[in-house]
Amino acid sequence: MPKFANPKLKIELVSGTTKRKLTATIDVSFDANEETFIKLVPTIRSKIRCQIMGSDSGFNGGNDHITWMTNQFINKDGQVKFTKTVNASSLDEDTVGADEIIARFSCVNNSPVLFSPSSVDSPEISGDF
């Protein structure tokens, strides 16, 4: 099963606009047996998905879906990077106060031999975007 490490999310102002650039990254690695299997069977593909969400709990209910990033395929160890530009208003997921935004990473693969790890979240970014 691929291993996830260092999930990150960055939200930047796009100068002169009301848009925000989202950059989400995660490090993905495979153990030696998985790497060998992937090299031997080139049709094995692991796809990393990234969903941007408003982080809510308790009083505010569950997490709110904001947007999906474009899926990225991986064949070897390395960092997977997602970028997308959105309207700032789409990040306004709470009616009152600051918004809390996370990136949730998950893996889907096309092999019964490679198990998919549980999803992992980036640290929360809080602010008025």
Kindly write down the DSSP assignment for every residue of 33-78, as one continuous string.
HHHHHHHH-TT--EEEEEEEEE---GGG-SPEEEEEPPPEEESSSE
> How many Cβ atoms from other residues are within 10 Å of residue 128's Cβ?
10
pLDDT of 14 > 70? The answer is: yes
pLDDT of 58 > 60? The answer is: no
What's the whole-model pTM score? 0.85
User: Residue 112: pLDDT band by 50, 70, 90 thresholds?
Assistant: low
